[in-house]
Amino acid sequence: MDKEKIDSNIKSTRRDFLKVTGGTIAAAGIAANGFLLRGSEAWAEEKPETWNEEVDVLIVGSGFAGLAAAAEAAGRGSKTLILDKMPTYGGNSIINGGEYASWDDEFSLRKKLNLGDDTSKLHMTDTIKGGDFYNIPALVQVMVDGAPSALNWMIDEGGLKIRELVNRAGGHSAYRTRTCTDGIGRGYTEALRKIAESKGTEIRLGTKVTRIWRQGLEGPVLGLAVENRKGRQNIRIRKALVLASGGFGYDVKMRQDFNPIVTPDINCTNHKGATGEMIRYAQAIGADTLHLAFVQLYPFAEPETGILDTPAVYPFRGPGFGMVYVDRNGKRYVSELERRDVCARAATATGSKPTFSVFSEKMIPLMGTKEEVKKGIAKGRFMTAMTIADLAKEMDVPGSHLKDTISRHNQYLADKKDPEFNKPVTAMMVPMTEGPFYAVAQWPAVHHTMGGLRINESAQVIDIWGKPIPHLYAAGEITGGVHGSNRLGSNATPDCIVFGRIAGTNAAKEKA
Ligand SMILES: Cc1cc2nc3c(=O)[nH]c(=O)nc-3n(C[C@H](O)[C@H](O)[C@H](O)COP(=O)(O)OP(=O)(O)OC[C@H]3O[C@@H](n4cnc5c(N)ncnc54)[C@H](O)[C@@H]3O)c2cc1C
């Protein structure tokens, strides 16, 4: 079919569609995505009676993506307002594990620490392989290319501090993950907040967005309806709206609508506000979505509560340094350098909760700090003993099995070959020959939603007919396509920040 014919077909489909739906955009969401909008979320096109306030750039969400967008928009002279429904700022970002994947940084840490080579191409290949090739390559390219400069920007302008270590996490084939000094996402959110506020951004908390106003099916986005202590208000945009409201890991119904096997009994690492209403509101004005069934489990959360606290980040940081995962029988059950989905499935297949990560004193400075481990022991999260046999008692696993597992793994490191699980053995992996030894219990919990709004490389939100929705941008976990079926650990932080910066930059460039 030639292009003219295709265009005319699209136009007539759109006309018929409007006739059938009486012009309500909400139904478009149903038709395109098979996803039923909930009652009041199905909106006809209409304008609010009054606008209570007007800003240039309006941003929903005060996590990595929203703060980065605000920093760029406000830095370009736009009056910028961030809204967040929670009483504190930061969403999942502020509680994040502090891990940032980047093939380089301004200190050339990887080179300095003699950790081998890395390139943007390798980071891209790993990300696409890790996502089973569902990823949109152009978006991955933007993320990996922008990761080093976004990290350097936060260091230079936001006062971010990073540790002098680089780890190799599951699914990555190079040592490329940086950790901020705080060891928690707050390090990045504070740096971003500092930049954003210094440029004049206002962050308004306790303000829930309840709908998006758009002028007709093909017109621009106009603003938002919000609810807070003052009641219901409407905020109008002069330039653009940026959606940076995160994922839907905490929304049990929504995640199960798309992926029935993620059942309500599975714990969750997310903050309570990680519910997906903004995705539905965007669908209600015609936005397209993708990959909503791809829900990731973090394999190493605290087994009873699902919390991802500092001890739960160690199993993520350790594989490149020789950490060993064992089941309740004291035996390895997976290659420790495997991707998260593989590790989570293998843990579940052991059939008995929890599994454990085992490491030794020598590995601590490579992964974290002695203070973190000391605090983790005081909280009862890390177990420790001078011998493997005594550690096994603490873990309540058979001592003979654990001793055999560790000594065999030591031999694999010496042989540079892991015949059991084919783990790639590197020179940075430390054999566990000397105590004290440590262990931490772990179990999978819902962690990341890879799917979301469809965007292009400029962070514009694309509608169900493949066109950018005028004056609407999105960045961060609300979007889909960067990570494919499975996000590699530490890729979300650069994804949110790089695309947040792009969204904010382009939002500020819109004509008022
Ligand atoms: C515990 C934990 C640890 C993690 N560790 C890492 C890590 O070390 N490295 C890594 O790469 N990734 C990590 N991730 C993933 C990563 O942190 C998230 O993908 C990222 O923080 C999402 O950022 P965001 O800006 O898109 O959304 P968020 O940071 O979640 O911010 C979205 C904000 O939008 C607000 N919001 C939502 N709906 C509305 C509404 N209707 N009205 C107003 N406000 C609304 C929310 O309240 C929230 O504050 C981790 C995730 C978790 C949960």
pLDDT tens sequence across 426-442: 999 999 999 999 999 99
What pLDDT score does 30 carry?
37
396-401 contacts, C-beta under 8 A, 24 or more apart? 396/328, 397/326, 397/327, 397/328, 397/329, 397/330, 397/356, 398/329, 398/330, 399/330, 400/330, 401/329, 401/330, 401/331
pLDDT tens sequence across 187-211: 999 999 999 999 999 999 999 999 9
**Closest C-alpha residue for ligand 1 atom 11:** 490
Do 285 and 461 contact (CB within 8 A), yes or no? no
pLDDT tens sequence across 349-391: 999 999 999 999 999 999 999 999 999 999 999 999 999 999 9
With a Cβ cut-off of 6 Å, ligand 1 is lined by: 60-66, 83-86, 91-93, 95-99, 185, 208-209, 244-246, 269-270, 273-274, 277-278, 308, 448, 476-478, 490-493, 496
| Mean pLDDT for the stretch of residues 307-322 | 98
Burial class (CB in 10 A: 0-12, 13-18, 19+), 371: exposed
pLDDT tier at 217, thresholds 50, 70, 90: confident
| Mean pLDDT for the stretch of residues 252-271 | 97
pLDDT of 44 strictly over 80: no
Q: How far is the CA of 95 from the centre of ligand 1 (A)?
A: 8
**Closest C-alpha residue for ligand 1 atom 36:** 245
pLDDT tens sequence across 15-30: 333 333 333 333 333 3
**Ligand 1: which of 40, 41, 67, 93 to mutate, judged by most atoms within 8 Å of the beta carbon?**
93
How far does Cα 60 stand from its chain's mean position? 17
Residues recognised as catalytic: 340
User: Given the CA of residue 66, which atom of ligand 1 is nearest to it?
Assistant: 25
How many CB atoms are located within 10 Å of the residue 150 CB? Answer: 24
**pLDDT cut 90: percent of the chain above it:** 90
User: Given the CA of residue 273, which atom of ligand 1 is nearest to it?
Assistant: 47
Look up the pTM and report it. 0.93
**Closest C-alpha residue for ligand 1 atom 53:** 270
Neighbouring-strand partners of residue 453: 289, 479
Amino acid letter, residue 174: A
What is the residue whose two structure tokens read 């940081």? 317
Q: How far is the CA of 177 from the centre of ligand 1 (A)?
A: 19
**Ligand 1: which of 245, 309, 483 to mutate, judged by most atoms within 8 Å of the beta carbon?**
245
| Mean pLDDT for the stretch of residues 456-468 | 97
Sorted by where each starts, the structural domains of the chain and their CATH numbers stand as 3-41 (no CATH), 53-294+450-509 (3.50.50.60), 297-446 (3.90.700.10)
How many CB atoms are located within 10 Å of the residue 267 CB? Answer: 19
Task: For helices 26-33 and 3-21, give the axis angle rounded to 10 degrees.
Answer: 120
Distance, in Å, from the CA atom of 470 to the CA atom of 352, rounded to the nearest integer, reads 51
Q: How far is the CA of 5 from the centre of ligand 1 (A)?
A: 43
